[in-house]
Amino acid sequence: MGWKTLSGNRVFYCAYLILVSVFLISSAVFSDEITGEDKHKFITMLDMLSVKNIKLDLNIKIPITDNPAGPDCDLWATAVYHTGNAEGTSSIKRPTILVATAYRREFMMIAYLLPLLPHDYNVIAVDMRGTGSGEGVWGSMDLIEQYDIAYLVDEWIPSQPWSDGKVGMFGGSYMAILQFLTSALVEMEYNGASGQMEPKHLKAMVPLSSYSDVYQEIAFHGGNFELEFMAVWMGITDFETILPPLQYLGGNEKTGINAADTQAADDIWLEHMSQLDVPIRWILDESNMVKNSWYETKSPLIYWPEKPESGWDFMTDYPSITGNETIPANVPVFNTTGWFDIFTRGTLNNYQYGLSNQKPEDKALIIGPWYHIDAAFTCPGIHGLGVDNTGYGFNQDLAARWFDWKIKGKDDPFMVEFPVVIYVMGEDKWRAEKDWPLPESRVEEKTYYLSKRKQDTIRRDWFSYFNRANNFSLVEEMGELDLYSKFLWWRYEKKAPVLFHDIRFLHGIMSKSAQRWFGFSPLTMDENQCKMVLGIEDTEEKRFWEDERMDEFGVLTFTTKPLEEDIEIIGPLSLTFWAKTKFTQPGTQEAIDQFLDQLDEVLKLEEDSKSIIEMADKKDVQWVVELNDVYPDGRAQNVTSGWLSAWHRPYDPANPEQLDPDYVPFDPFYCYPNKNPNPIEEEVIYPYVVEMWATDNMFKKGHRIRISISASDIPHLFPVVRPSKNTIVIDEDHMAKLDIKVTNTKEEGETWKWIDENISDYLINHRN
């Protein structure tokens, strides 16, 4: 179908226009001139919002000039603003809440902004370059987007007749990340009252679920290419790209649908259609197989107050100041994430490091038992942040409370004494904390060791019988029988745990991993809505992804005996072990080589675009480690996970067979192996440290703690196709250990407290 046919086929986008018809709200609709059929269409929404005298500008062209990171361009925005006097004043000027998005401004306007109108804010949603109605080429999260938004915050919005110059930013996921990136670039001014420099216009942010390091948290997990979410994300963004621009609805050149706006929409739509391959070209770029400036300049960590010892130096490819800027210490930031969010690590690092200079009253954090869609958009269980429990769509009362306090100066302090609210899994209760990470007084370090002794079978647990050859013990102290077997006076080493990797038997699909990294799984959305919004009795054991045993069959497991008391593991944790690899089954490998050759021929990749083929074919091991909560009946529920490519192990540059002496687990700036991957040699023993993302789970008395080790996590990670035999070396010189932190019950009421009331009531009504 040619472009002329596509452009002329109004049937295609008429269905789409229905989705955005809610925005066909002219000045008349929001004034006393509402009559007849229009009144019938919009009266329900107006009653729900309880606002009058507001106006919609559906299509606003915003020329962007002098962007230091890219060419001039026109952005397009939708604004809804008040036309009546602000309460107690003779002015129509009000604060403005901004959502900057690559996910269509019309959709994000409904999700985040319209619920703020009754709280007396103007709202505006803007399409980024190359998305929605935006002109130009999409540069996801890069500097050109960051400077575009800074211009909106500091120049365009304050110049509008309805703006009082104060701006707040709001949104989840993509929109959350852009808030951190933009905040470091906004205009600063001296405040004589405080004696500090502070943002002139940006007064508060509510980023719901944000990453801090795009390489480690999205593109490559432990050096392994992230396949599942990237594929879903690109599919969604491409679908939104092919939807017609809002300019087809008119309103820029003249009122209503008109030829000029239609022609502009045709031009933008054609431009977008020609750029559908932009995201895939990022992946096929061989230079992006390792961590580089392309990733770093899209990552909020370059704007943290703490900088690497050598600083950030992006040479001549970027504006000279890039990386020297810092997230302002006095911009208040309200954050959310979930224990199964794709941005758990990023949000927690942004809070710990990016907001390290914020006062306790200027930062807040909520961590729920959520996946990404929950943490970024719906926040189930919390009325006032996301989905409205009463069924009327979205409700943003909690965000409005934050904005009222921080932008309007309303005397309504909350989450000051305990700025962090976390959901304790296993206990299934909310708890308020002084800070994240928890202070040293609240936690104790603990170590478990991987043993070569077989695990006891669990009565009525099929897995403990059928996977017995691969089931080993996890112990608090290593004894002689954990390493050796004895027969009379003869002592000999126990057989080492061996993990076989075969492309025919991949792991991951029957686990929580596949749900987590889908990002937008309707199954998990239904799970959390039923449990936390509708109050339906929990039926976790009936969901296949809440039992890891099918996925663990054939992998190595290390499990404790039944716990004698409750143990709460909190924060990130690490598994350190030694292993050697033998790449096996030459016949199978020959078949795989033939398959890769055929794939290369079909794709017809250019010489510099064969990164996918090379990534699959390299002699590597994909270490996948999971922490699971094993119930008395044997059901194993995933708590958190970690991943590491053998090539990306934290090796010593002077001796690749040893750990890097400069490596410290969880150091967000450590990236030497991600920039300089080091191949492994067969049958050489190497040390590995797999960092598992932070969690908070109460392992109840009678439950067991389990570590599982596999060599694949499909579809989450792009698999290594070369088969291998991997021996975990455990002896006096090579101890394998799991390092964790557990909470204590000290200082209750001082540094922490249980939230015994309804979490929504607590967040909406409590003070201080």
Query: Same domain, yes or no, for 225 and 92?
Result: yes
Q: Dihedral through CA 427, CA 433, CA 436, CA 442, nearest 10?
A: -80
Same domain, 247 and 359: yes
252 & 389 share domain: yes
Higher pLDDT, 28 or 496: 496
Question: Residue 640 is part of a domain; what is its CATH number?
Answer: 2.60.120.260
* Least-confidence region, from 7-16, 123-132, 352-361, 554-563: 7-16
Answer whether residue 336 is part of any domain. Answer: yes
Q: To 10 degrees, the CA torsion angle through 268, 269, 274, 276?
A: 110
pLDDT tens figures, 295-328: 999 999 999 999 988 889 887 778 888 999 999 9
Per-residue pLDDT, averaged over 687-699, amounts to: 98
Q: Specify the pLDDT at position 1.
A: 31
**Phi, psi for residue 652 in degrees, rounded to 5:** -80, 120
Which of 176-190, 527-541, 670-684 is the least confident region? 527-541
pLDDT of 211 reads: 98
The whole-number average pLDDT for the span 386-397 is 73
Do 552 and 429 lie in one domain? The reply is no
Are 517 and 716 in contact by the 8 Å Cβ rule? The answer is yes
DSSP 748: B
- pLDDT confidence band for 31 (50 / 70 / 90): very low
291 in the same domain as 208: yes
Bond before 158 cis per omega within 30 degrees: no
Residue at 75 is within a domain: yes
Q: Is residue 42 part of a domain?
A: yes
* CB-based contact 679:647 (threshold 8 Å): yes
Which tokens belong to 672? Answer: 């030497």
Q: How far is CA 596 from the centre of its chain?
A: 32
Cα 710 from Cα 558, distance rounded (Å): 12
What is the CATH number for 172? Answer: 3.40.50.1820
Tokens standing for residue 180: 């951190």
620 near 449, Cβ under 8 Å? no
Give the lowest-confidence range in 27-41, 166-180, 314-328, 418-432: 27-41
Is residue 113 a part of any domain in this protein? Answer: yes
Asked if residue 199 has a cis previous peptide bond (ω within 30° of 0), the answer is no
pLDDT exceeding 70 applies to what percent of the chain?
88
Contact 209, 372 (CB under 8 A): yes
Report yes or no: 282 and 292 within 8 Å, Cβ to Cβ. no
379 and 505 together in one domain? no
Check whether residue 414 and residue 505 sit in a common domain: no
222 and 321 inside one domain: yes
Supply the pLDDT for residue 279. 82
**Bridge partners, 540 (sequence order):** none
Secondary element (H or E) of residue 729:
strand 724-729
What pLDDT is attached to residue 572?
Answer: 98
The Cα 596–Cα 619 span in angstroms is: 14
Q: Does residue 337 sit in the same domain as residue 414?
A: yes
Q: How far apart are the first and last CA of the chain?
A: 61
Are residues 561 and 426 located together in one domain of the fold? no
pTM score: 0.91
Extract the runs of DSSP E, i.e. beta strands, from 236-371: 333-340, 363-371
> 640 in a domain, yes or no?
yes
| Domain-terminating residue out of 384, 412, 433 | 433
Q: How many domains does the chain have?
A: 2
Range with top average pLDDT, 233-237, 286-290, 419-423: 419-423
d(Cα 472, Cα 721) in Å, to the nearest integer? 27
Domain end, chosen from 384, 413, 433, is at 433
Distance CA 686, CA 727 (A): 11
Average pLDDT over the chain reads 88
Q: Is the pLDDT of residue 43 over 50?
A: no
102 found inside a domain? yes
Distance, CA of 594 to CA of 571 (rounded, Å): 44
Q: Residue 260: its pLDDT value, please?
A: 83
Spatial neighbors of 392 by CB under 8 A, at least 6 apart, are: 48
φ, ψ of residue 723 in degrees (nearest 5):
-70, 150
Domain assignment present for 204:
yes
Among the residue ranges 121-135, 593-607, 727-741, the one predicted with the least confidence is: 593-607
Listed in sequence order, the residues at least 6 apart from 212 whose beta carbon sits closer than 8 Å to its beta carbon are 180, 299, 300, 301, 345, 346, 347, 349, 350, 353, 354, 668
Are 550 and 462 spatial neighbours (Cβ–Cβ below 8 Å)?
no
Does one domain contain both 424 and 503? no
534 secondary structure, DSSP code: S
Q: Find the mean pLDDT for residues 353-372.
A: 97
Domain that holds residue 359: 3-433
Q: d(Cα 3, Cα 479) in Å, to the nearest integer? A: 73
Contact 708, 483 (CB under 8 A): no
Can you tell me the distance from the alpha carbon of 374 to that of 501, in angstroms, rounded to the nearest whole number?
Answer: 34
Grade residue 606 by pLDDT with cuts at 50, 70 and 90: low
Q: Indicate if 178 and 51 belong to the same structural domain.
A: yes
Give 540-546 contacts, CB < 8 A, sequence gap 24+: 540/637, 541/635, 544/510, 545/510, 545/511, 545/512, 545/514, 545/515, 546/512, 546/635, 546/637, 546/638
Taking the C-alpha atoms of residue 624 and residue 677, their distance in angstroms, rounded to an integer, is 18
Would residue 85 count as lying in a domain?
Answer: yes
The greatest distance separating any two alpha carbons of the chain, rounded to the nearest whole angstrom, comes to 99
> What does R_g of the chain's alpha carbons equal in angstroms?
27
* Residue at a domain's end among 433, 456, 472: 433
Q: Which two tokens stand for residue 424?
A: 């304790």
Q: Which of 396-410, 506-520, 575-589, 712-726 has the least mean pLDDT?
A: 575-589
Q: What is the mean pLDDT of residues 737-745?
A: 97
- Average pLDDT rounded to a whole number, residues 469-480: 96
pLDDT category at 713 given cuts 50, 70, 90 is very high
Per-residue pLDDT band for 528 (boundaries 50, 70, 90) equals confident
